[in-house]
Structure 1
Amino acid sequence: MFPFSLLSRVAASFPSFYTVLFVSSLLRWALILYSEWHDARSKVKYTDIDYRVFSDAARFLLSPTSDNVAQGPLGGLFGVGDPYTRSTYRYTPLLALLLTPNEWIHPSFGKYLFAACDVLASVLMYRMLVDVILPASTPSQSSSPGEGKQQEPASRDCLAALLTSLHLLNPLVFTISTRGSSESVLSLLVLLSLYACLKERWTTAAVLLGLSTHWKIYPVIYGIACVGVLAMRNPRSNWVSRVLNWSTVKFGVISAGTFFALGGGMYLIWGQPFVEHTYLYHVSRLDHRHNFSPYFYWIYLTYPSAAASLAPLTSIQKVLRSPLTSFAPQMILSLGVGFVFGVLGSKEHLPFIWFAQTVLFVVFNRVCTSQYFLWYILFLPLLLPRLSRSITPRTSLVCLALWFGVQVLWLAEAYKLEFLGENVYLGLWFRGVVYLVGNIGVLAVVVLNYV
């Protein structure tokens, strides 16, 4: 978030996109090799515990037994096991299926796959920047001498390489994927959906959005922004006929149809465990462990202990523990912002709209961890060309300091709880509120400075 002219000057001497791509690929490869060396020698593993869950689920899927068999109506026809035999596996069976080469190629196959998704996501970012975003965000006229001409394709490529490197060389991004987190697969699916939207391939975008929502439910919020953009393409003056027209209905039907077709197929093979663990678990989940969300303290205070499990809950306790307490404001804000910004903008603004929706979804979620930050950081390289035209360097630094500062404030208190065993739940909740307010403040600055 620095002046556009400064970004252009830095980009002029920046390595080419393919150089950055090669270096970042080597970095990921080296980290995966290091993870194998480190895990063999240390009790504190580099590999994420989730990767072991994925790998176990893949093994169960490949090795059906009498106690491990797909429980769907058609499960017996395919001769596969139940990935949900692995406790704490809460994902689509497609993820376990993708990682089956862990069993017959190499245990780190999944890490290489996740790292490759990181790299492919950056290629999509680069193409979106070069083909759509930079041409649309670079005006043909400006009062500044350094910005008065239409940007040349060569300089556009250099600037796109610089911006894409913010994803490729982001430590949070490459460490999470090389440790074995599957977030990069979802990031790739989301960016594929966005790329199809920017290219106006709306049918393809609808299918990809349905697939993304099947993989993890939260991308469903992006559908309302797409509907808003499609609605504004309809010249009718009546709002109802604008929103409910062939384009919007077709998009919604194809996207929802893809989601339900995939879900129906998974149910026919793996049955109720698929529905329970992939979707229902996340709706009814009572996570009382500390996390960035201030909701955790409410759940912690009302969490049923073994001694009190037979006592009836009071009305207030029921309200505090209800998923609707957090779900309602979360969805109203993220969907409302998506629709309002969608009908006010065009397809070129979808990266900004999806960014705003995701920030609201994450900070108002009942569970919020550092891994969720990837969901909205993903869009930042696509926003910077427009933000850099209006936001000052000082404001940018203040926003960065605020975003990091509220996390450090929370982590300092969480350390006392996690490692020192101190009773600081109330103080941690207060810092969670500060985190929420700080993130909303940064989002407000981004919204006000987006042009």
Structure 2
Amino acid sequence: MSLSRIAHSFPTFRTILVVSSLLRLGLILYSEWHDAHSKVKYTDVDYRVFSDAARFVLHAVPGNTAQGPLGEQLGFGDPYTRSTYRYTPLLALLLAPNEWVHPSFGKYLFAGCDILSGVLLYKMLLDVVLPPAASARDSSPKSAGGPAEPASREAVATMLTSLHLLNPLVFTISTRGSSESILSLFVLLTLYACLQERWDAAAVLLGSSTHWKIYPVIYGAACVGVIAEKELQGGSRWIGRVVNMRTVRFGVVSAGTFFVLGAAMYLIWGEPFLEHTYLYHLSRLDHRHNFSPYFYPIYLTYPSVQTAASTLSLAQKLLRSPLTSFVPQMALSLGSGLAFGMLGGKEHLPFTWFVQTVVFVVFNRVCTSQYFLWYTLFLPLLIPRLSRSMTRFTTILCLALWFGVQGIWLAEAYKLEFLGENVFLGVWSRGIIYMVGSVSVLVVLAVNYCKGFSEPSAQ
């Protein structure tokens, strides 16, 4: 596939930025009208949780005060007074203007993070993924006799960035009030720092990302692998490459940032911060149906009013234990990150992080459509290399399989959720199909990515 041929008549990046910004602005304004006139709200219920938490933080009253040692002195309320708030208090503080500027301030903030993520993707495409020499070889049509013009290179970068900026799932989620765009921006900032080999900055950003939501910790393994890869030429032993001053420094700075932020939150908000932001997710038993096939064993062993958890057998306890999914999930995510990081180098970090994230999401105990954003975020950075080796048929097959396994699951889940039919077993079996299908697509993409790397002159 020739990217430059597809992007030949594509609008400028500035045009895409304006269109995507106006699109988000229009949807936020529409959401206010829709919510005022419809019982079925456009705004996500999570946004109301965020807004309530922000209000609780700003208005400390008896029964609603921050429970840390410094909380009462600083006069903060407790965001966790709002039940189901399971996030860092920093999110509630960021949305404080919802109270004294406008109730939709948070939506504008999330939409702005979407746009900034698009700018970062565009910059990474031009600076790293589509450098002038590679652009001439990888993106221009075979019939072109000379190097690709800079305008063609920018058009390709614009087209690929639009896959994020004009993605309906992305702009719908942010304008409905989900905070995922903030995390996406953190992750891309971390990746950009890594690609620039600014490892101290990357470590600080990784620690901040992990504070915001725990899953980015998996990217640390890939970063350590890339830093360790620099020691490969020295002929040192494997353990000496992985454990050296540079990797230890990265780990200490990253972990230090995470713990400093956590300590600050604990000093203000105390035990509720630890319980709701981190510990809750480790012990969470989500028996509601989701894409993950793990939901069904948890559902079958979920203690009822008549059956206490202490009466469960050892096998039942293992089925519902978080370790049942956590161990293979983290082993695969961290292992693939370290291995690909050491073999590929920094320029292949987008691919490495993509693989890690897909594995993390697919093997997670809870998997919803919103989690797909965690790995589709990296696709614009992978497509140039994938386009070298993937045929049109393979591309269509991967898309059909990825959407198809989701459609198969959704069709059965609809019977359970909306028709009330007893199809738990059917939903579970389709969850297995989803897992197998997703892993199959990942394997195809990985093979073609590596083929594009090993055969640079394919086009």
**Match in the other structure for 1:210:** 207
**Match in the other structure for 2:290:** 291
Deviations 1:186-223 (A, max 9, x none): 00000000011111111111100000000000000000
SS, match of residue 18 in structure 1: helix
State whether residues 135 and 153 of structure 2, in contact with CA within 8 Å, keep that contact through their aligned partners in structure 1.
Answer: no
> Which stretch of the first structure deviates more once superposed, 428-437 or 197-206?
197-206
Match status 1:35 vs 2:31: yes
**Match in the other structure for 2:376:** 377
Aligned residues: 447
State whether residues 190 and 209 of structure 1, in contact with CA within 8 Å, keep that contact through their aligned partners in structure 2.
Answer: yes
Name which of 41, 46, 59 aligns with 2:42: 46
Q: C-alpha displacement at 1:139, in angstroms?
A: 6.7
Q: C-alpha displacement at 1:12, in angstroms?
A: 1.8
Distance 1:326 1:149 in 2: 52
Match status 1:353 vs 2:356: no
Q: Could you say if the C-alpha distance between residues 139 and 26 of structure 1 is closer, same or farther in structure 2, counting changes exceeding 3 Å?
A: closer
State whether residues 410 and 431 of structure 1, in contact with CA within 8 Å, keep that contact through their aligned partners in structure 2.
Answer: yes
**Match in the other structure for 1:423:** 422
User: Could you tell me the TM-score, scaled by structure 2's length?
Assistant: 0.95
**Match in the other structure for 2:52:** 56
Distance 2:24 2:224 in 1: 37
Percent of aligned positions with the same letter in both sequences? 72
**Match in the other structure for 1:331:** 330
**Match in the other structure for 1:112:** 108
Name which of 8, 13, 26 aligns with 1:12: 8
| Structure 1 unpaired stretches of 5+ | none
Map 1:257-296 onto structure 2 (within 5 A). Answer: 257-296=256-295
Q: C-alpha displacement at 1:73, in angstroms?
A: 1.1
Q: C-alpha displacement at 1:145, in angstroms?
A: 3.1
- Supply the AA of the counterpart residue of 2:213: K
- Supply the AA of the counterpart residue of 2:5: R
**Match in the other structure for 2:391:** 392
Match status 1:81 vs 2:77: yes
SS, match of residue 281 in structure 2: helix
Match status 1:192 vs 2:189: yes
Distance 2:421 2:124 in 1: 48
Q: C-alpha displacement at 1:242, in angstroms?
A: 1.1
**Match in the other structure for 2:457:** none
Query: Alignment RMSD, CA only?
Result: 1.4
Distance 1:178 1:140 in 2: 38
State whether residues 403 and 439 of structure 1, in contact with CA within 8 Å, keep that contact through their aligned partners in structure 2.
Answer: yes
SS, match of residue 131 in structure 2: helix
Q: C-alpha displacement at 1:148, in angstroms?
A: 6.5
- Supply the AA of the counterpart residue of 1:449: N
Name which of 160, 164, 188 aligns with 2:161: 164
Distance 2:403 2:172 in 1: 18
- Supply the AA of the counterpart residue of 1:102: N
Q: C-alpha displacement at 1:281, in angstroms?
A: 0.3
**Match in the other structure for 2:343:** 344
> Which stretch of the first structure deviates more once superposed, 202-211 or 305-314?
305-314
Deviations 1:25-65 (A, max 9, x none): 00000000000000000000000000000000000000001
State whether residues 231 and 343 of structure 1, in contact with CA within 8 Å, keep that contact through their aligned partners in structure 2.
Answer: yes
State whether residues 111 and 177 of structure 1, in contact with CA within 8 Å, keep that contact through their aligned partners in structure 2.
Answer: yes
SS, match of residue 389 in structure 2: coil
Distance 1:308 1:368 in 2: 27
User: Structure 1: which 4+ aligned runs deviate by more than 6 Å?
Assistant: none
Distance 1:93 1:188 in 2: 18
Q: C-alpha displacement at 1:309, in angstroms?
A: 2.1
> Which stretch of the first structure deviates more once superposed, 239-248 or 51-60?
239-248
| Structure 2 unpaired stretches of 5+ | 454-459
SS, match of residue 106 in structure 1: coil
Distance 1:257 1:299 in 2: 35
